[in-house]
Chains A and B, each alone.
Chain A
Amino acid sequence: MKHVITALVQNQPGVLAHISGMFAARGFNIDSLVVGRTEDAELSRMTIVVVGDEAVLEQVRKQLGKVIPVVKVRDFTNTENVQRDLLLIRVHAPAEKRPAVVDLVNLFRGRVADVARSSVVIELTGTEDKIEAFIDLVRPYGIRELARTGVIAMLRGGRK
């Protein structure tokens, strides 16, 4: 079972190593870990997708809370939330196949970010499910390169 957890952390050297090291040392299984700035210049937000049952999730929450530069931990399990992942994908698309690929991009409300003679780079945001569905659909054309950011998340309904 996948769970999304965010940790608000103080911007300090070593904090990412601290948290990723803790996950490795305790044998927690992570799917993705994203770090980025927030509205407060002194704080960053880490969004972590963890794989495990409720007991694992509880330990993850507590162990994160124990890391001193971690200011706040939020578990998105059983919440109304918005989750987004960003995909950049280079797909084999020579002129004769390009319209079909672009059709798919449009259906998914993605964007063609770059066009070359025999391939295109596509950007797409959405939930992990949507991204994965798109990848499956373009796979027959030939995936040359793929990069994903991992999930970031926010609660719905005005709550912080």
Chain B
Amino acid sequence: MAKTDGKKYKMKLEQGFVGACGGEIIHQILTDHGVDLVFGFPGGALIPLFDVLYDSDIELVIPRHEQGAIHMAEGYARATGKTGVVIATSGPGATNLVTGLANAYLDSTPLVAITGQVKSHLIGNDAFQEADMTGISRPITKHNFLVNSVDELGRIFTEAFHIASTGRPGPVLIDVPVDITVNRLEKPANLTMRIPGYKPSTSGHLRQIESAAKVINESKRPLLYVGGGVIHSEATAELRAVQEKGRLPITTTLMGLGVVDENDPLALQMLGMHGSATANYATQECDCLISVGARFDDRVTGKLETFAPNATIVHIDIDPTSISKVVKADVPVVGDAKDILAKMVNFIEPKERTEWLEQIAAWKKQYPLAYEASDTTIKPQLVIEKLGELTNHDAIIATGVGQHQMWAAQFYKFRKPRQIITSGGLGTMGFGVPSAIGAQFASPDATVIDIDGDGSFSMTMVEIITAVQHKLPVKFIVLDNEYLGMVRQWQEMFFDKRYSGTVHPCPDFVKIAEGFGAKGLRVEDPAGLTDALQELLDYNDGPAVLVVAVDPEENVYPMVPAGKSLHEMELGRLA
């Protein structure tokens, strides 16, 4: 995690940093915060800043589109926990960041976005390439700044890194007029942060923690419901200690996948709209639901009135606004999950809970995540199952958004935190390609695989050029059904198979990959699937794309139809 260290920088400044231009100050602050890689695209308002970066040790990755840059920064941040940094020029460059900012905001990803702005005296005049970025980004950032003078530049950047990386992490945007990157500092800058209203609670209230433990101890059918907050908090070990001591079964959200090895008998996999039947039945039957770092999203709860009807709700979250926003918490605990769980374990009584765990084991046996096998057509679920086996469930998996994303969540069987990089809250199609590239920059030696659909892949596949340029061995698997499959599934189930807008003819992705300078592979026959996956995994001379022609009308099951309760799942053909 990038740490704020205003003091160190202050000393440097006092030792003669006066005279530096705005661009140099930005560069110095980035360096002081441990930034060694930024994703950015040049433009008129950024020329002086890029001129400083020309001589820098900070690696500058240039994508093909600013949306690619910000999703790469998100992938980088999600894979490491460090704050990602993205730079875009004024006007269209900055507005191209909007989707990524909204995505990072909903998924609590620490980012600092630096946008160029027109000269200070032109602001408000509809100047060339001017857009009101602080106005546009206000509802989709944790905070934003418009820099008014070079004197406040250092303080603002220090505050931005602090705000982005602490509390509930999130994106912070700094809009920097081009003249400020050129202007020189005349007196030592004061880096002391001036954000008296920003005091995220980290330490959990001991009495609340005790009350929560008491409720858990008294419950017969407890269930842990864990989200991405535990990953941001690096609290996996503390969670496991509580879980093992109390013998608590655990289900995770999409963002929480990886906090527990999904092969563990107490792990029920994901809950919600496309969650496992076991997780959904357990949620409806539990008498105590312990939410940690999750926010009761509508894709998790289904129909609210009948969600977890018998449960006392314990809600642990660092963001007080998450608590009782959707579901009223009986025992709220505000603070950092790591701190709270470390304290809580002392109050948890060891329990066997045999009856409840037997019930769960029975559900798991009766309703495993499954699909109808085929010898003639490749089932998308099979691709992911095989991939899990071939990579020992240990690769970093990025995804786009849609059916392929849900199958990846259901069938890969994640083992550790930061292994899945996916767009949970905003549901951003096109997130997979650039976020996988960002993750590979962060972990050059890891196997990074983007499991994508033909729809999502088409939106951002141009960024494969960036991976070619940097010789990154990112692997892209395109589950190609020539449909926008998730919407098609809804149309099949609820709109009389009227496939309005969802027929999606695809180009020859193999040739496109080759044209970009990547390796291109294609498989259509189930018999050739394992070999094709192995060939993809063995190729390390740069990026490679494997197009898998899959059963075009396969659906994601289980499915809780919109407006239904979790136990009213459609289980699919195997039911």
Contacts and interface: CB of A to CB of B under 8 A. Distances in A.
B196 A59 contact: no
Contacts of A69: 195, 197
Interface string B141-164: 011001000000000000000010
A68 B146 contact: no
B495 to A, nearest CB: 29
Contacts of A65: 197, 320-321
A63 B321 contact: yes
B272 to A, nearest CB: 23
Interface stretch (A14-22, A82-90, A100-108, A131-139): A14-22
A66 interface: yes
Interface string B495-539: 000000000000000000000000000000000000000000000
Given A14-B146, A68-B163, A25 B321 contact: no
A77 to B, nearest CB: 17
Contact of A17 (B138, B194, B320): B138
Nearest to B159: A68
Given A68-B195, A68-B197, A69-B197, A17 B325 contact: no
Contact of A18 (B138, B196, B325): B138
A59 B197 contact: no
B139 A70 contact: no
B135 interface: yes
A14 B138 contact: yes
B128 interface: no
B494 interface: no
B321 A59 contact: yes
Nearest to B135: A17
Contact of B321 (A62, A68, A72): A62
Contact of A71 (B138, B142, B196, B323): B196
A34 to B, nearest CB: 19
Contacts of B196: 10, 71
B324 A25 contact: no
Interface string B302-324: 00000000000000000111011
Nearest to A58: B324
B127 to A, nearest CB: 18
Contacts of B142: 68
Contacts of B197: 9-10, 65, 67-72
Contacts of B328: 55
Interface string A97-125: 00000000000000000000000000000
Looking at chain B's contact residues, is the secondary structure mostly helix, strand, loop, or mixed? loop
Interface in B448-498: none
Contacts of A10: 194, 196-197
A13 interface: yes
Interface residues of B, number: 20
A21 B138 contact: yes
B134 interface: yes
Contacts, number: 45
A18 B194 CA distance: 18
Interface string A1-28: 0000000011001100110011001000
Contacts of A62: 320-321, 323
Nearest to B198: A68
B139 A21 contact: yes
Contacts of A14: 134-135, 138, 146
Contacts of A9: 197
A66 B321 contact: yes
Interface in A20-50: 21-22, 25
Contacts of B325: 59
A80 B320 CA distance: 27
A13 B146 contact: yes
A60 B111 CA distance: 26
Nearest to B200: A66
Looking at A22, A59, A66, the one whose CB has the most chain B CB atoms below 10 A away is: A66
Contacts of B195: 68-69
A129 to B, nearest CB: 32
Nearest to B195: A68
B136 to A, nearest CB: 11
Contacts of B321: 59, 62-63, 65-66
Contacts of A70: 197
B324 A66 contact: no
Nearest to A63: B321
Contacts of A66: 319-321
Given A58-B324, A62-B320, A68 B134 contact: no
A24 to B, nearest CB: 9
B24 to A, nearest CB: 26
A25 B140 CA distance: 11
A18 B197 CA distance: 14
Nearest to B172: A68
B155 to A, nearest CB: 13
A22 B163 contact: no
Given A9-B197, A14-B135, A18-B138, 12 more contacts: A14-B134, A21-B139, A55-B324, A59-B324, A67-B197, A68-B142, A68-B143, A68-B195, A68-B198, A69-B195, A70-B197, A71-B197
16 contacts: A10-B197, A13-B146, A14-B134, A14-B135, A18-B138, A25-B139, A59-B321, A59-B324, A59-B325, A62-B321, A65-B321, A66-B320, A68-B163, A68-B195, A69-B195, A71-B197
Closest 5 CB pairs of A and B: A71-B197, A62-B321, A68-B143, A70-B197, A62-B320
